[in-house]
């Protein structure tokens, strides 16, 4: 009997080569997996390779590059109005300001009447009501928000200015006298307000013709104790020579 036939074997060299190639491929695949996991946004690998690797691993971290995406449709940007853009409709602003201007003039007249009234409470109330009427005016500007805001600010500013004027009038309405007859004095064209009823007392302020005062009393020795109501020395108290004072309107002298 012939000897048993032996199966054919691959040459050992080819076997070693196959093992080596398989190992290299396995190492490459593992390396690609690791690289993709560590740097999912890298552009080093082509998008298709990274997509394939992510489909194998299932991480879903690959994002298609912008260059490979379909371009988005162009949309024209909306114009942005400038912050300092003028109101769209000047006529509308003029119409909205008209009642505010009229109410402001009415308040001015009421304040002036009270200012000269020697603190008449009825005239004071009328002046305050005229100021409140300015604040209550509604700004009817519907189409342009910038115009509405601007007109509202003007309204509030005018009301605030009249309120300040009324407070000033409350103070001035208390005036009983005003300085008179000092501006023509060559050496001292002013009236000295002193800390005490004595010519050597400390100077507190210098008063000018027309400055209004509230006289509290007269000493009987040529001096009056007063509070200054107008002028640069407003709010100061002291003594002045009463020969340079004259009564405001028909205000009685305070003895």
CB 123 within 8 A of CB 115: no
For residue 244, what is the DSSP state?
Answer: G
Pick the CATH number of 177-247 from 2.30.30.40, 1.10.150.120, 2.60.120.650, 3.10.129.10: 2.30.30.40
Average pLDDT of the residues in 39-58: 55
Report the 10 Å Cβ neighbour count for 138. 9
Task: Quote the CA–CA distance of 47 and 36 in Å, as a whole number.
Answer: 11
- Tens digit of pLDDT for each residue in 180-203? 988 887 778 899 999 999 989 999
Task: Quote the CA–CA distance of 27 and 33 in Å, as a whole number.
Answer: 10
250 pLDDT higher than 50: no
- Tens digit of pLDDT for each residue in 62-119? 445 555 555 666 665 655 554 444 444 577 788 888 999 999 999 999 999 988 787 7
Q: What is the pLDDT of residue 18?
A: 74
CB 205 within 8 A of CB 218: no
3-state SS assignment for residue 144: coil
DSSP characters over 61-120 = -----GGGSPPPPP-PPPPPPPTTPPPS-HHHHHHHHHHHHHHHHHHHHHHHHHHTTTS-
Lowest mean pLDDT among 18-22, 50-54, 140-144, 237-241: 50-54
Task: Quote the CA–CA distance of 166 and 130 in Å, as a whole number.
Answer: 11
Tell me the pLDDT band of 255, cut-offs 50, 70 and 90: very low
Q: Which residues contact 29 (CB under 8 A, 6 or more apart)?
A: none
Task: Quote the CA–CA distance of 115 and 118 in Å, as a whole number.
Answer: 7
Q: Which residues contact 169 (CB under 8 A, 6 or more apart)?
A: 111, 112, 114, 115, 127
3-state SS assignment for residue 11: coil
CB 186 within 8 A of CB 224: no
3-state SS assignment for residue 193: strand
pTM exceeding 0.85? no
Q: What is the pLDDT of residue 94?
A: 84
What rounded mean pLDDT belongs to the chain? 77
Domain positions in the chain: 16-66, 90-172, 177-247
Task: Quote the CA–CA distance of 41 and 121 in Å, as a whole number.
Answer: 81
């Amino acid at each position: 009997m012939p000897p048993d036939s032996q199966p054919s074997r691959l040459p050992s060299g080819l076997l070693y080569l196959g093992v080596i190639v398989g190992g290299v491929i396995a190492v490459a695949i593992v390396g690609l997996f690791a690289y993709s996991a560590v740097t999912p946004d890298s552009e080093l690998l082509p998008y298709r390779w990274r997509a394939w690797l992510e489909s194998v691993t299932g991480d879903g971290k690959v994002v298609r590059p912008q260059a490979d995406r379909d371009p988005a449709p162009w949309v024209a940007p909306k114009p942005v109005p400038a912050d300092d853009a003028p109101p769209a409709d000047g006529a509308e602003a003029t119409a909205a300001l008209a009642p505010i201007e009229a109410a402001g003039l009415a308040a001015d007249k009421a304040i002036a009447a009270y200012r000269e009234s020697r603190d008449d409470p009825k005239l004071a109330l009328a002046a305050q009501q005229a100021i409140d009427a300015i604040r209550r005016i509604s700004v009817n500007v519907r189409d342009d928000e910038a115009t509405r805001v601007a007109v509202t600010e003007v309204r509030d500013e005018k009301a605030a200015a009249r309120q300040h004027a009324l407070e000033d009038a409350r103070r001035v309405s208390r005036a009983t006298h005003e300085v008179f007859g000092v501006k023509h004095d060559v050496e001292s064209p002013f009236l000295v307000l002193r800390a005490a009823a004595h010519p050597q007392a400390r100077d507190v302020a210098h008063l000018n013709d027309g400055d209004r005062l509230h006289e509290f009393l007269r000493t009987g020795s040529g001096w009056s104790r007063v509070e200054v109501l107008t002028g640069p020395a407003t709010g100061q108290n002291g003594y002045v020579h009463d020969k340079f004072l004259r009564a405001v309107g028909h205000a009685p002298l305070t003895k």
